[in-house]
A and B are shown apart, each in its own frame.
Chain A
Amino acid sequence: MKTSIDMTRPSALYVGLAAILLLAAFILPRLGLTGFESLVHAPYRRSGAAAALGVSIVFGFLGALRHAARAEEPWRVPGSQPLLLVLLFTAFGALGLLLSL
């Protein structure tokens, strides 16, 4: 009988999402997608991108903290809590990435 919950699968998912985001951040600027700037005419696009990436980092950090808390006390922290934070991390990260193009 095990004494702790195996959290390999959600951990792999979270690391995978972060890796995809990083990979996209590395690859997309090198693809020469110059048309995006003309699609989004927001006056503070760069600032918006920075804000979205900042918020994404905060959510990512909180998600990691809650994931660690679930490993510590699985009866108190439901698995949905880190998942929601990581999904917000991914969404804001993707938004920041698109705005920065």
Chain B
Amino acid sequence: MYLNTKIVNALMTLRAISPERLAAVTGLSSRALTAWLDGTAKDEDSDARLPFDRQLEVIKILGITGEVPRSDVTHAWFLREPAFGSREPTYEPLRTILLYCGGCDVTLLAAEADPFVSLRARTHFALTFDKFRAVLQITSAPFRSLAFSPGSLPNMRWVGEQAPLIVRKDLFLSLTGPGESVPAQLDLERHKALEIAHWKKIGELAAERGMGAPELAHFLIDKVPVKPMLPALSAQLTAAAPAAAKEPIPAAPEPESLFQGAK
């Protein structure tokens, strides 16, 4: 068994960790780590210099336990678009991870009010994968529009039009701070945002059928029995959030595997 270093490299870029920093954290030789990541070490040397259990330590630092990123934390990922030139290569690590991890929903994550002055062009997105959650921060040049286009990335579904996460400032700081939030918090906010979109859709469906709010209310009162669920409503809302996140997501066309067969 050996690890797919393409995925490890992509995760390092997304986590904004340099090989030197990773070597310092894991206590590995920087040269051995770089040689393993670049694939420049000879196969047998690579295994000797960086045994498999040490490779597992490396991916653990990058947030992976087992085959996929951990589900008990919200992963903080970072990308930086260049001020000039093509911005397509910026998204290559994200493309790799999307192919490896499968489909995800993506939506805007922003504070509810813009500040008076902001010269930092940082945009945050909430990524809801099947098994884990991530917040992606993209920094762009202050004078350029963002080139991030979920439609052009594999397995990414944009839900920002109907359910953007526009939250209070303190909550925004909590959700976007690395290690500050838990996935359930993000799921709850996403559930609230989707709920607004769903109620809007119900309103549109009712209007299409010639029903106003009073008629719809009467219909519900007359036809739909009341469920005894009010005392635990908040707890159910929290529990319902992960279920809401499990909407069908298109499967990965060619999923890569972190663990490759033995050589």
Contact = CB atoms under 8 A, between A and B. Distances in A.
B42 to A, nearest CB: 46
A83 B117 contact: yes
Contact of A81 (B108, B110, B143): B143
Interface in A54-101: 74-81, 83-84
Nearest to B200: A3
Given A8-B113, A9-B113, A78-B142, A1 B121 contact: no
B143 A80 contact: yes
Contacts of B140: 78
Interface string B229-263: 00000000000000000000000000000000000
A19 interface: no
Given A6-B113, A74-B110, A80 B118 contact: yes
A10 B166 contact: no
Interface string B176-204: 00000000000001001100100000000
Query: Among B113, B125, B148, B160, which residue has the most Cβ atoms of chain A within 10 A?
Result: B113
Contacts of B120: 80
A81 B120 CA distance: 10
B145 A77 contact: yes
Interface in A13-69: 13
Contact of A76 (B111, B113, B142, B146): B146
Given A1-B167, A13-B116, A75-B123, A80 B142 contact: yes
B154 interface: no
A10 B111 CA distance: 14
B148 A6 contact: no
B196 A75 contact: no
Interface in B116-151: 116-123, 125, 140, 142-146, 148
A6 B112 CA distance: 6
A1 B192 contact: yes
A88 to B, nearest CB: 10
B189 A1 contact: yes
Contacts of A5: 110-114, 166
A1 B196 contact: yes
A48 to B, nearest CB: 25
A75 B108 contact: yes
A100 B167 CA distance: 47
Nearest to A16: B116
Nearest to A1: B192
Nearest to B112: A2
Nearest to A14: B116
Given A74-B110, A84-B143, A2 B166 contact: yes
Nearest to A78: B121
Q: Which 9 A-B pairs have the closest CB atoms?
A: A78-B121, A80-B142, A6-B113, A75-B108, A2-B166, A79-B118, A1-B192, A80-B121, A9-B116
Given A1-B193, A75-B146, A79-B118, 18 more contacts: A1-B165, A1-B192, A5-B110, A5-B111, A10-B116, A13-B117, A74-B108, A74-B110, A74-B123, A75-B164, A76-B146, A77-B145, A78-B121, A78-B123, A79-B115, A80-B118, A80-B121, A81-B142
Interface of A: 1-10, 12-13, 74-81, 83-84
